Amino acid sequence: MLQQHLLQHAAPGSKGLLFPGDRTDHMSARYLMDRYRPAREMAGRPDLTIHHLRHTALTMAGQHGATAAELQARAGQASQSAMIYQHTTLDRAGSGRQDRRSYEAWRS
């Protein structure tokens, strides 16, 4: 699915963007939010912000074994502040149960 998206929408090579904007190379904040608002409304979560997506992505990376250095690089942080995203990795055995509980709560 991702490969098909890239073939249809991204420029080839290192300059290719995964999610390009409509009239420029880079997606503007307005362009993103014009698409994000209806998506979060349809999901029944108008309260979600872009930061929630970032936090979720970095937390999931931590749950799947990303090191502190990798989390810092992904987050663009040079300090230990990226360690907040490792909070759920302390109990990996329980993280799957928590993921299922979160999913079930979201579905209902």
Overall pTM > 0.75: no
Confidence class for position 37, pLDDT limits 50, 70, 90: very high
- Which pair of tokens denotes residue 75? 């987050």
What is the chain's Cα-based Rg?
17
| CA dihedral of 42, 43, 45, 48, whole degrees rounded to 10 | -100
Instruction: Please write the tens of the pLDDT for every residue from 60-107.
Output: 888 888 888 888 888 887 776 666 666 554 555 555 566 666 556 555
Domain ranges, ordered by start, for the chain: 2-42, 50-107
Average pLDDT, the chain: 76
Q: How many residues does the chain have?
A: 108
Instruction: Give the pLDDT confidence score for residue 83 in this predicted structure.
Output: 67
Number of Cβ within a 10 Å radius of residue 17 = 13
Q: Which helix (H) or strand (E) holds 103?
A: helix 92-107
